[in-house]
């Protein structure tokens, strides 16, 4: 009887431990599968405003607040734009002073919690950039997908797709540049975004199913006069663009791909986001398995280099903590005939433009010119 009791207790304990492990893996996988649009990823640290003065803002000293470039600074109910670090400004040992370019809305006060974001603009192409645009609905397989359309004279349309933790406002960083070169721009909100349908399971599939919304945008564009496309994507939006370029029935109309911080190894990205939520290392494989079970994601890379047919420009760098850039280097090495990698050091995920906007736009201009 004692043996039976002991065995039963051991089995019960093992089952309980297994259930706890499954639950822990599921919770850890939420960092990527339930990343809310427009909210910071767990890799982005919260900073504290120490004070403001005309043309400058003092923030908590952190690797993030010391980044080169220009960024949005978001808080609860506020948004501003901050420029480079002012190295000659007086500051304490635990703070850093950056140029305060403008306060878009709300106010910034000492003690406010804020975070850096790639989005320099909020609103829409009209309110943020003064550009004529139309609010359109793209028919998708799950329902209507809201999008902004900025008209242009060319027959090659740019379809812009944001990524993890962002919204279609991210595309505003480059909309003015593209409009000045007369490209029509369609900035898409896809499944899971505000105003768009939810995915059936309520989860982000890291581009594996969302690419169909890019396909829907391409079909919409053809209906309204597009003859060719350039797909421009950030993060998982870049993954969606790659999926569309190899799976869409309209892939023959894609003249180019522009990929910023592409998620080419979803398992590495999921582990990075889960680790940033302080998930213990031994549980990270459980998070990956939980994600596979919940979404049906496979271990295959986002793009088979042998299937790639369109010229591709990749902006990526070694300091991306969300999407490792090694797969981008591998893709460029395996398809040097089609893929150009523009490395950008010191840039966080999906913020390659923010770090060096002028060189970024010059590389983009050179890439787009023969595709016009």
pTM, rounded to two decimals = 0.92
What is the pLDDT, as a whole number, of residue 12? 41
Q: Give per-residue pLDDT as tens, 47-76.
A: 999 999 999 999 999 999 999 999 999 998
- Reference 187, options 126, 142, 268; nearest CA is 126
Q: Which of 15-29, 214-228, 276-290, 335-349 has the lowest mean pLDDT?
A: 15-29
Look at the alpha carbons of 231, 117, 350, 297 in this order and tell me if their dihedral is positive or negative.
negative
Above 60 in pLDDT, residue 15?
Answer: no
Mean pLDDT of 188-203: 96
Above 90 in pLDDT, residue 123?
Answer: yes
Q: Which of 192-196, 207-211, 299-303 has the lowest mean pLDDT?
A: 299-303
Above 60 in pLDDT, residue 304?
Answer: yes
Mean pLDDT of 317-327: 96
Instruction: Using a pLDDT cut of 90, give the percent of the chain over it.
Output: 84
User: Contact at 8 Å (CB) between 41 and 273?
Assistant: yes
Give the separation between CA 342 and CA 50, rounded to whole angstroms.
36
User: Contact at 8 Å (CB) between 145 and 188?
Assistant: yes
What is the pLDDT, as a whole number, of residue 11? 41
The pLDDT confidence band at residue 13, using thresholds 50, 70 and 90, is very low
What is the pLDDT, as a whole number, of residue 19? 44
Residue 126: burial class (beta carbons within 10 Å; 0-12, 13-18, 19+): middle
């Amino acid at each position: 009887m004692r043996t039976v009791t002991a065995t039963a207790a051991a089995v019960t304990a093992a089952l309980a431990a297994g259930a706890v492990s499954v639950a822990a893996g599921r919770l850890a996988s939420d960092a990527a599968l339930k990343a809310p649009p427009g909210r910071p990823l767990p890799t982005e640290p919260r900073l504290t405003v120490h004070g403001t003065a005309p043309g400058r803002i003092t923030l908590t000293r952190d690797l993030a607040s010391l980044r080169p470039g220009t960024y949005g600074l978001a808080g609860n109910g506020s948004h501003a734009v901050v420029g480079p670090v002012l190295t000659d400004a007086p500051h304490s040992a635990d703070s850093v002073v950056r140029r305060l370019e403008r306060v878009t809305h709300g106010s910034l006060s000492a003690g406010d919690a804020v975070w850096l974001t790639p989005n320099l603009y909020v609103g829409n192409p009209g309110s943020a950039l003064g550009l004529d645009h139309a609010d359109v609905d793209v028919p998708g397989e799950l329902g209507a997908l809201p999008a902004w359309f900025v008209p242009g004279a060319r027959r090659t349309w740019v379809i812009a797709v944001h990524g993890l933790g962002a919204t279609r406002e991210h595309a505003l960083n480059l909309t003015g540049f593209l409009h000045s070169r007369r490209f029509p721009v369609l900035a898409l909100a896809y499944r899971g975004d505000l105003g768009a349908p939810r995915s059936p399971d309520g989860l982000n599939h890291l581009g594996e199913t969302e690419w169909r919304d890019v396909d829907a945008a391409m079909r919409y564009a053809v209906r309204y006069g597009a003859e060719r496309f350039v797909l421009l994507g950030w993060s998982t939006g870049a993954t969606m663009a790659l999926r569309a370029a190899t799976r869409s029935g309209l892939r023959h109309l894609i003249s180019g791909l522009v990929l910023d911080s592409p998620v080419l190894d979803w398992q590495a990205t999921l582990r990075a986001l889960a680790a940033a939520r302080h998930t213990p290392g031994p549980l990270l494989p459980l998070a990956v398995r939980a994600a596979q079970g919940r979404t049906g994601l496979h271990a295959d890379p986002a793009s088979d280099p042998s299937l790639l047919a369109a010229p591709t420009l990749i902006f990526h760098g070694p300091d991306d903590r969300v999407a490792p850039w090694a797969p981008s280097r591998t893709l460029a090495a395996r398809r040097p005939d089609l893929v150009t990698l523009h490395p950008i050091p010191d840039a966080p995920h999906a913020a390659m433009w923010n770090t060096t906007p002028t060189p970024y736009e010059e590389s983009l201009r050179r890439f787009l010119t023969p595709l016009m």
